[in-house]
Amino acid sequence: MAAHIVEKAHARVGFLGNPSDGYFGKTISFLLQNFSATVRLEPSDTLRFVPSLEHDPQEFLSLEALAVRARTEGYYGGIRLLMAICARFHQYCSEKHINLPPKGNFTLAYDTNIPRQAGLSGSSAIICATLSCLMRFYEVEDRIPWDDRPSLILSAEADLGITAGLQDRVIQVYGGLVYMDFEREHLAKTGNGIYTPLDPALLPALQLIYARNPSDSGKVHSTVKKRWLEGDLGIRTAMEEVASIAEEGREALEKGDHKAIAELMNRNFDLRRQMFGDEALGAMNIDMVMTARSVGAAAKFTGSGGAVVAFCPQGSDQVKRLSEACDKKGFTMAPIQVAPSNVQGDNVVAMGEVCKSFVDRDTGA
Catalytic residues: 168
CA distance 192 to 354: 8
Main-chain dihedrals φ then ψ at residue 35, nearest 5 degrees: -130, 145
H or E element: which one contains 80? helix 79-95
Q: How many CB atoms lie within 10 A of CB 253?
A: 24
H or E element: which one contains 26? strand 26-44
Instruction: Decide: helix, strand or coil at residue 330.
Output: coil
Residues 6+ apart with CB under 8 A from 169: 121, 124, 127, 128, 149, 150, 153, 154, 157
**CA dihedral (69, 120, 171, 207) positive or negative:** negative
Burial of 331 from C-beta contacts in 10 A (0-12 / 13-18 / 19+): buried
In 3D, which of 220, 333, 238 has the Cα closest to residue 281? 220
HSE-CB at 45 with a 13 A cutoff on CA atoms is 0
Q: Distance between terminal CA atoms of the chain?
A: 48
